[in-house]
Each structure stands twice: as C-alpha cells, then as structure tokens.
C-alpha cells in the first residue's frame, strides 16, 4: 500500500514540478477564474471550445501543491473531451476526493484519493475543475483582449 501511496505522491509532485498546459491560451474563447480564499489558491482556466468539444485547454494560477497539481492534471484529462464528458469526469473526480475511493483502474486522478482525509483540502483539489466547468458553461469571450484585473 505504501508503494501505491508513493506512486500517487509522485503524480502530484510531478505535476507540480512540470505543470502541463500552464499559461494563458491565446486561442481561448472561454475563461473562468476560481478562488479558494481559505487556502489562498487561485486558478484561471482557458478553454478553446469548438462546437461542443474542448479543443485546447490551459490553466494559470498560484497556490498550494494540491491545487496546482490538480489543475494541471485536470487539463490533461479534459483536453479533447466534449462538455458532457468533462462534466462526467469532474463528477468522478469529485467522488474520488470526497469518498477516497479511487476508480478500479489505476489512473493519475486516483492520486487525489488521499485528499478525502483532509476535508479542508478538497476545495484545493476541485478548484481548477470548478473553474473549467464554469468556463464551459460561461459566455464566449476573447481571451486575447481580456483585461488584467491585477
Ligand atoms: Zn490549497
């Protein structure tokens, strides 16, 4: 079991060291921002939605290791998926982090099953996912002309 935990920890460490799809997406037509004030995590998600499908996705943000690794992993999970598939994946992920039951097949998202033991961190783990779903449901925007609020 400890080997498995190590493996899972490696997934989170790896996404922290080498975040995937990080940075603003110039071609994005959907953007949403998520905030987790209790931990100080922030996450923006950029989507290039083509019809019903996420053609490209990126995130940008700052915060704890769990929030950033989860957002990075989320982008790899949602890229190429339809809106309905993305919502299903989020439901599954939410189930994993709240119940602690990983899916039967070993997958990278199972790395976050351990989060369920730390209820305060569940918001960290789901922050990027919430932003992605909000971006999917939001109005079209032109990310290239988005004004910086900071
Ligand atoms: Zn956090």
If you average pLDDT over residues 142-149, what whole number do you get?
53
Distance of CA 19 from the midpoint of ligand 1 (Å): 16
User: Domain for residue 138, yes or no?
Assistant: yes
Distance of CA 149 from the midpoint of ligand 1 (Å): 22
User: Domain for residue 59, yes or no?
Assistant: yes
pLDDT of residue 23: 97
pLDDT for residue 105 is more than 90: no
pLDDT for residue 2 is more than 60: no
Q: Given pLDDT bands bounded at 50, 70 and 90, which one contains residue 145? A: low
Closest CA to 128 of 104, 109, 143: 109
Distance of CA 60 from the midpoint of ligand 1 (Å): 14
Q: Given pLDDT bands bounded at 50, 70 and 90, which one contains residue 141? A: confident
Expressed as residue numbers, the domain containing 124 is 3-144
User: Domain for residue 50, yes or no?
Assistant: yes
Q: Given pLDDT bands bounded at 50, 70 and 90, which one contains residue 147? A: very low
pLDDT for residue 35 is more than 50: yes
Q: Please tell me the least confidently modeled range out of 1-5, 65-69, 73-77, 81-85.
A: 1-5
CATH for 113? 3.90.1010.10
Cβ atoms 60, 80 nearer than 8 A: no
User: Domain for residue 36, yes or no?
Assistant: yes
Distance of CA 44 from the midpoint of ligand 1 (Å): 14
Distance of CA 125 from the midpoint of ligand 1 (Å): 7
User: Domain for residue 80, yes or no?
Assistant: yes
pLDDT for residue 142 is more than 50: yes
CA angle 31, 33, 49 (to 5 degrees): 20
Q: Given pLDDT bands bounded at 50, 70 and 90, which one contains residue 128? A: very high
Domain count within the chain: 1
Q: Is 30 exposed, middle or buried (0-12, 13-18, 19+ CB in 10 A)?
A: buried
β-sheet bridge partners, residue 115? none
Rg over CA atoms, the chain: 15
If you average pLDDT over residues 104-108, what whole number do you get?
76
Distance of CA 52 from the midpoint of ligand 1 (Å): 31
pLDDT of residue 4: 60
User: Domain for residue 150, yes or no?
Assistant: no
User: Domain for residue 149, yes or no?
Assistant: no
What string of DSSP letters covers the chain? -HHHHHHHHHHHHHHHHS-TTBS--TT-SEEEEEEETTTTEEEEEEEEEETTEEEEEEEEEE--HHHHHHHHHHHHHHTT-BHHHHHHHHHHHHHHHHH----SS--GGGGGGGGGG-HHHHHHHHHHHHHHHHHHHS----GGGPPP--
């Amino acid at each position: 079991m400890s080997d498995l935990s190590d493996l899972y920890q490696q997934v989170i460490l790896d996404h922290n060291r080498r975040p995937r799809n990080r940075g603003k997406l110039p071609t994005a037509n959907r953007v949403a921002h998520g905030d987790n004030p209790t931990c100080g995590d922030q996450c923006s998600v950029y989507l290039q939605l083509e019809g019903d499908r996420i053609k490209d996705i990126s995130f940008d943000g700052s915060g704890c290791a769990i929030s950033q690794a989860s957002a990075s992993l989320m982008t790899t999970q949602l890229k190429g998926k339809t809106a309905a598939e993305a919502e299903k994946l989020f439901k599954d992920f939410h189930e994993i982090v709240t119940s602690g039951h990983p899916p039967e097949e070993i997958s990278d998202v199972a790395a976050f099953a351990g989060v369920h033991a730390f209820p305060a961190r569940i918001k960290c783990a789901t922050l990027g996912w919430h932003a992605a779903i909000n971006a999917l449901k939001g109005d079209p925007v032109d990310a290239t002309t988005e004004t910086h609020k900071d």
